[in-house]
Amino acid sequence: MNPVFQGLLTILIGVGGIFAYFVLSNMLLDKVLFPAKGPNASRNINRANLIRPWLFLAPTIIALSLYLVYPVIGSFIRSLYNRSGDQFIGFGNYSSLIASPDFRTAFMNNVLWALFVPAVSTFLGLVIAQLTDKLSWGNIAKSIIFMPMAISFVGASLIWKFVYAIDPNLGIINAIRASMGLNPLDVLQLAFWNNFFLMAILIWVQTGFAMVILSAALRGIPEETIEAAVIDGANPFQIFMKIQVPQVTGTIVVVWTTTTILVLKVFDIVYAMTGGNFNTQILPSYMMQFMFRDDGRATAVAIVIMLIVTPVMIQNIIQARKEMR
Amino acid sequence: MIRTLSGVSVVALLAVSASSASAQDLMFPKGEGDFSWAALESFAASHDYTGEKLMVTGATTGDDAERYRTLYAYFTDATGAEVEYSGSESFEQDIVIASQAGGLPDVALFPQPGLAKDLASKGALVAVDDAMTDFMTTNYAAGDSWKQLATFPGSDGADHVFGLFFGTDVKSLVWYVPEQFEEAGYEIPETQEDLFALSEQIVADGGTPWCIGLGSGAATGWPATDWVEDMMLRTASLEDYDRWVSNDLKFNDPIVVNAIEQYGKYALTEGFVDGGPSAAASTDFRDSPDGMFDFPPKCYMHKQASFIPIFFPEGVEAGTDVEFFYFPPFASEESLGRPVLGSGGLASVTNDRDVTKGFMEFLGSPIAHEIMMAQGQFLSPHKDANLDIYTSDVQRALGEILTTATSFRFDGSDLMPGEIGTNAFWTGMVDYTTGKPAQQVADEVQTRWDAIQ
């Protein structure tokens, strides 16, 4: 069958099917099981209303438990077995991970990423949002800064590969060095600092996101508070730090945590730029090394990543719900 | 009216695709040229699978896949069985998933045998029957080496031959530009000692002898593993090489460390490599040979496998603008002969049917190899395949290296467990090239190997 036709058919069955499910199940509930008429009409309406949310939530609950909860549990169980999956070894995979220097490098690098990237991109996003707010060409500047968001991580990595290229005719860093008479240098091989050169790519991509959200939050601040500060003689820096920032703290936390979650998932940049060489490994790309070879270890790394992400995610949800109220 | 029209056109399209599948316009008309048509005729006479269908999967896609489809058309023509080939870039993952979840094809073309070994032990592959066990020994040059490479323990624990090798690459090659060699008066070295002396000579003359590039995205480092494997074959016995691949000889054994250091003699010596070792570690292997074609040349030699000409700059003609010589053995190690390092694809049966057996026989016939050779980019160790079929002198010379080798050994990293051969060995070589001592690198790889439970 033609793949296009197949795709259309899938959409049709999927969307149409779920639509039919909602309409029909609702009808079944209202007309057949608990009809809103007859001697028990009011009791029936109450019962139907009790059941209805579950009816509507059921497809989501089933899909989520099938595609999220089951894989998490399955992965955890798999991580307790050996390489070929036929022998139970308890937490053997975890203890050998902790003993492995590669894992520790990846872990420490990931901590660096998780601290540095969200901090810098949120800071830059906030500053840019404030600075461009009153400018006539502010929107153009914002659009340009936002643009990297539309590029995939691998695409962004390819662009930055040119920036970091050793050839002074290609790479801007080495072009500058060459103009000063210095020898070309591969920044991706600079021990320790190469991590920051990789992080720069994600910051470049993520700053636009932080900027857009924070810019909207800054605009939502009541004008009166700022006017009052101006009348009281506050200078622009004081207004920004003491009036505006405190009022958008909630949004800053959401942006920060969202970026942190993203950072802990990103593997494409390291994979495409260095392949984890030169001590730039991070946990997700470290996991990739074991996938389809030693699934026991790969799932163990996956569980470790999940354990790290979960508290950040819970914080993120709590904060987001607070914002909504 | 429009509806009927489109209905007609769909029917017409189906008819066209069906006819192209069954009538099969053969690329090389039967009976013409130097092909072994007799082999095809006798095969056709003894095999008839009319109406049957065969699923073949492999890692080759695009133009390469078309070359294989051209070949399968002859199988269809001879037996009447239809062959459906689907190639996937993620074949290595797909076939593992298919072996666990169901949906295996009839025949799988493995780009390297390490993965086939894994699947064979899980019972996903079908061993060839007794008549075919010694097929490669009798028909391939260095056939015993080939047979050994396709022999692994099956799910019953006993050793069997799982399939046959189809398509090879030769790795023990050094590429150079003849014009530059002539101008500078350099001779093709016959021994490792000469090669090293030549490298020193080039440095003394103010040039740079080597272009090395290990960059390959996530696979960065693999070109250096080829160097080490070639050095292993030239400094250690074949037994030691095989024991190294199976880790009976530890990775941090002095023999292996010595081979790594032999690579280092070229890669790490000051002035030997264009840009120095750190540039070698990050230059993409596809861009690395470009330096040979600059003027003045950035380097004079490049060691790489037989597939590299497709990455040469446009307009460079292999055979005229660029030539290769065999990566020579050490004069001091004469007993080791002329070993050849290579890689190749293994065709294995994943579904036991009569038609799949017939298909394997077909892949073993000289005509199948010739049809692939005639389309270029394909080397065969098959002794009965006519070398005149090769489309270029370069291809023919490569084929000759393969058929005159005293021993053939497979790319060791392709045979090692995935964590080592496609990971720890690669990154270890990058570490070594950027300054870690060989012993420490070897120790780390061995630690990783020990960690595989």
Q: Does residue B222 belong to any structural domain of this protein? A: yes
A295 pLDDT above the threshold of 70: yes
Top-confidence residue, B145 or B174: B174
Q: Whole-number mean pLDDT of chain B? A: 86
Range of the domain at A313: 93-324
Please write the tens of the pLDDT for every residue from A38-70.
Answer: 788 888 888 888 888 998 999 999 999 999 999
Residue where a domain stops, chosen among A44, A78, A112: A78
* In a shared domain, residues B347 and B423: no
CA B375 → CA B4, B56, B228, B372, B379, distances in Å?
A: 42, 20, 32, 5, 11
Taking an 8 Å cut-off on Cβ atoms, the answer to whether A188 and B453 are in contact is no
Confidence of residue B145 (pLDDT cuts 50, 70, 90): confident
Query: Which residues of B are less than 8 Å from A188 in CB distance?
Result: 282
Mean pLDDT of the A174-181 span: 92
Q: Is B434 on the interface with A (CB under 8 A)?
A: yes
d(CA B310, CA B332): 35
Query: How far is the alpha carbon of A21 from chain B, nearest alpha carbon, in Å?
Result: 30
Confidence of residue B130 (pLDDT cuts 50, 70, 90): confident
A292 pLDDT above the threshold of 60: yes
- Are A102 and A280 a contacting pair, CB within 8 Å? no
Taking an 8 Å cut-off on Cβ atoms, the answer to whether B281 and A271 are in contact is no
Q: Give me Rg for the CA atoms of chain A.
A: 26
Q: Is the alpha carbon torsion for B251, B257, B259, B260 positive or negative? A: positive
Confidence of residue A1 (pLDDT cuts 50, 70, 90): low
Q: Whole-number mean pLDDT of chain A? A: 90
* In a shared domain, residues B135 and B262: no
Taking an 8 Å cut-off on Cβ atoms, the answer to whether A289 and B423 are in contact is yes
* In a shared domain, residues B356 and B428: no
Query: Which residues of B are less than 8 Å from A186 in CB distance?
Result: 278-279, 281-282
- The DSSP bridge pattern shows strands B301-303 and B323-326 to be unpaired
3-state secondary structure of B173: strand
- Are B211 and B273 a contacting pair, CB within 8 Å? yes
Q: Does residue B1 belong to any structural domain of this protein? A: no
Angle between helices B222-235 and B425-433 (to 10 degrees): 90
The secondary structure element, H or E, covering residue B151 is strand B151-153
B320 pLDDT above the threshold of 80: yes
Dihedral, CA of residue B142, residue B144, residue B150 and residue B151, to nearest 10: -160
* In a shared domain, residues B305 and B442: yes
Residue labelled with tokens 């980019």: B377
User: Distance between the two ends of chain B, CA-based, in angstroms?
Assistant: 68
d(CA B373, CA B175): 21
Taking an 8 Å cut-off on Cβ atoms, the answer to whether A275 and B427 are in contact is yes
Residue B84, number of CB atoms within 10 A of its CB: 14
Taking an 8 Å cut-off on Cβ atoms, the answer to whether A83 and B418 are in contact is no
Q: Does residue B265 belong to any structural domain of this protein? A: yes
* In a shared domain, residues A163 and A65: no
Please write the tens of the pLDDT for every residue from B276-298.
Answer: 998 899 888 989 999 999 988 99
Share of chain B above pLDDT 90, in %: 44
Q: What is the ipTM of this complex?
A: 0.71
Query: Which residues of B are less than 8 Å from A89 in CB distance?
Result: 453
What ranges make up the beta strands (E) of B269-350? 301-303, 323-326, 339-349
Task: Give the domain CATH number at B56.
Answer: 3.40.190.10
Q: Does residue A162 belong to any structural domain of this protein? A: yes
Confidence of residue B7 (pLDDT cuts 50, 70, 90): very low
Nearest to B418 among A275, A293, A296 (CB): A293
If you ran DSSP here, which 8-state letter would residue A99 be given?
H
* pLDDT value for B87: 87
CA B272 → CA A11, B175, B203, B298, B441, distances in Å?
A: 60, 16, 7, 11, 22
Nearest to B96 among A82, A271, A292 (CB): A292
What ranges make up the beta strands (E) of B389-447? 407-410
* In a shared domain, residues A106 and A58: no
Number of domains in chain B: 2
Nearest to B281 among A100, A189, A288 (CB): A189
Q: Is A127 exposed, middle or buried (0-12, 13-18, 19+ CB in 10 A)?
A: middle
* In a shared domain, residues B325 and B236: yes
**Cis, peptide link before residue A35, omega less than 30° from 0:** no
The secondary structure element, H or E, covering residue B174 is strand B173-176
Mean pLDDT of the A21-37 span: 87
What ranges make up the beta strands (E) of B305-377? 323-326, 339-349
Please write the tens of the pLDDT for every residue from B210-254.
Answer: 999 998 877 889 999 999 999 999 999 999 999 999 899 999 999
Taking an 8 Å cut-off on Cβ atoms, the answer to whether A274 and B451 are in contact is no
Number of domains in chain A: 2
**CA of B428: which chain A residue's CA is closest?**
A277
A196 pLDDT above the threshold of 90: yes
Nearest to B451 among A100, A274, A276 (CB): A100
Q: Does residue B17 belong to any structural domain of this protein? A: no
Mean pLDDT of the B143-168 span: 87
A96 pLDDT above the threshold of 80: yes
Q: Does residue B212 belong to any structural domain of this protein? A: yes
- Are B343 and B422 a contacting pair, CB within 8 Å? no
Contacts of B219 (CB under 8 A, 6+ apart): A275, B422, B426
* pLDDT value for B442: 96
3-state secondary structure of B32: coil
Of B90, B59, B56, whose CA–CA distance to B73 is shortest? B56
* In a shared domain, residues B309 and B434: yes
Task: Give the domain CATH number at A168.
Answer: 1.10.3720.10
Please write the tens of the pLDDT for every residue from B59-106.
Answer: 888 888 888 999 999 999 999 999 999 988 778 778 888 888 888 999
Query: Which residues of B are less than 8 Å from A82 in CB distance?
Result: 453
Taking an 8 Å cut-off on Cβ atoms, the answer to whether A186 and B278 are in contact is yes
Taking an 8 Å cut-off on Cβ atoms, the answer to whether A275 and B281 are in contact is no
B1 pLDDT above the threshold of 60: no
d(CA B14, CA B61): 24
Range of the domain at B136: 34-162+341-405
Tokens of B392: 């270029």
B22 pLDDT above the threshold of 60: no
* pLDDT value for B23: 40
Query: How far is the alpha carbon of B155 from chain A, nearest alpha carbon, in Å?
Result: 13
Query: Which residues of A are less than 8 Å from B419 in CB distance?
Result: 289-290, 293-294
Mean pLDDT of the B359-374 span: 91
Please write the tens of the pLDDT for every residue from A112-146.
Answer: 999 999 999 999 999 999 999 888 898 899 999 99
> Residues 158 to 187 of B: which have CB under 8 A from any A CB?
none
* In a shared domain, residues A155 and A234: yes
Q: Does residue A88 belong to any structural domain of this protein? A: no
d(CA A109, CA B56): 43
> Residues 281 to 310 of B: which have CB under 8 A from any A CB?
281-283
Of B227, B217, B225, whose CA–CA distance to B173 is shortest? B227
Residue A27 phi, psi (nearest 5): -65, -45
Query: How far is the alpha carbon of B398 from chain A, nearest alpha carbon, in Å?
Result: 32
> Residues 80 to 139 of B: which have CB under 8 A from any A CB?
92-93, 96
Q: Does residue B13 belong to any structural domain of this protein? A: no
Please write the tens of the pLDDT for every residue from B405-427.
Answer: 778 888 998 888 877 888 889 99
Taking an 8 Å cut-off on Cβ atoms, the answer to whether A271 and B423 are in contact is no
* pLDDT value for B6: 41
